[in-house]
């Protein structure tokens, strides 16, 4: 079986390795064009491109797959299957029809919940207790195709956007490997059409969402902090100073303080009032600094110690 793999970020790399280990032949890798990155804004290849080049696989980086020339290049690889994992380009019906077995997508949610660009972070923001990955047969709609295989995982109270991302990347490779091995063995995977109920869209994250509003419940603020680690990182004000908040948890308690007020500051956490208690900040970052503990922050701002 000849596979063309399409993916771009780190999340996609385990799935590329699963394709290579399955017994299929990865004949080409499609990924986004190199982008400027870092302080020097140097053109930087995607993680998928780096993995493909290290494995000696041809790499294609078209700006679009909508042109006749782009489709001709893809067709020349004679793919039996195209595997798409966080590629970042829309595939037209003409592209979807090129491979003999069509196109598969590995999506980081339990469809139809959280179709779209940021399913991992949206699940944490919403307070979901479980999520997973779906292996889906692609069609023209956005993440609307029938599901072939699924893996589930619980969302732990300690999970951040980063830890859940890493776990789902491995689960995605696992479910893809099963699908490829069963197909290579001659099996036709059963497809389950998605329900029309429970559809939610995981819109792309915006940096403006990182600003914490202490007029919200503490648990909602905690979900923001966890979901936005490692990007874009929650932001809030502590006694007049804007900081990035890396770790915090909600504590329900009766108090009359105005939301946003520092009501207590100890080495194990800085309590900031919200509408139903406090958000206890345990790790943060000052402008131009690095991530530090609440204890280290109070060493720099001793006037806050023991504040009530």
Binding residues for (6S)-5,6,7,8-tetrahydrofolate: 109-112
CA distance linking residue 104 with residue 102, whole number of Å: 7
Asked if 281 and 304 touch (Cβ cutoff 8 Å), the reply is no
Asked if 48 and 68 touch (Cβ cutoff 8 Å), the reply is no
CA distance linking residue 276 with residue 273, whole number of Å: 8
Please tell me whether residue 296 adopts helix, strand or coil conformation.
helix
Binding site residues, as ranges?
109-112
| Residue listed under structure tokens 């007049």 | 240
On the CB side of 232, how many CA atoms lie within 13 Å of its CA? 12
CA-closest candidate to residue 245, choices 257, 232, 234, 261: 234
CA distances from 225 to 74, 124, 230, 237, 275 (A): 42, 10, 9, 14, 17
Task: Find the Cα–Cα–Cα–Cα dihedral 105, 106, 109, 111, rounded to 10°.
Answer: 30
């Amino acid at each position: 079986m000849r596979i063309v793999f399409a993916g771009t970020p780190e999340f996609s790399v385990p799935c590329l390795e699963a394709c290579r280990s399955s017994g299929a032949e990865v004949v080409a890798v499609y990924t986004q064009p190199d982008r400027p990155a870092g302080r020097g804004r140097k053109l930087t290849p995607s993680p998928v491109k780096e993995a493909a080049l290290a494995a000696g696989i041809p790499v294609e980086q078209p700006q679009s797959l909508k042109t006749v020339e782009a489709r001709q290049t893809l067709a020349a690889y004679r793919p039996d299957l195209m595997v798409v994992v966080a590629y970042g380009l829309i595939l037209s019906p003409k592209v979807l029809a090129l491979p003999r077995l069509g196109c598969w997508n590995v999506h980081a949610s339990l469809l139809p919940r959280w179709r779209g660009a940021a399913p991992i972070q949206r699940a944490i923001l919403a307070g979901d207790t479980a999520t997973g990955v779906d292996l889906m047969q692609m069609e023209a709609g956005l993440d609307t195709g029938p599901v072939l295989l699924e893996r589930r995982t619980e969302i732990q109270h300690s999970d951040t956007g980063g830890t859940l991302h890493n776990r789902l990347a491995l689960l995605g490779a696992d479910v893809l490997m099963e699908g490829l091995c069963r197909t290579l063995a001659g099996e036709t995977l059963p497809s389950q059409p998605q329900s029309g109920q429970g559809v939610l869209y995981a819109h792309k994250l915006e940096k403006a969402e990182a600003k914490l509003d202490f007029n919200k419940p503490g648990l909602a603020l905690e979900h923001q902090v966890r979901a936005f680690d490692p990007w874009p990182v929650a932001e809030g004000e502590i006694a007049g100073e804007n900081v990035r908040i890396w770790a915090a948890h909600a504590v329900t308690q009766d108090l009359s303080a105005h939301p946003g007020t520092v009501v207590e500051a100890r080495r194990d956490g800085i309590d900031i009032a919200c509408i139903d208690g406090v958000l206890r900040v345990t790790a943060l970052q000052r402008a131009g600094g690095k991530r530090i503990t609440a204890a280290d922050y109070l060493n720099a701002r001793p006037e806050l110690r023991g504040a009530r």
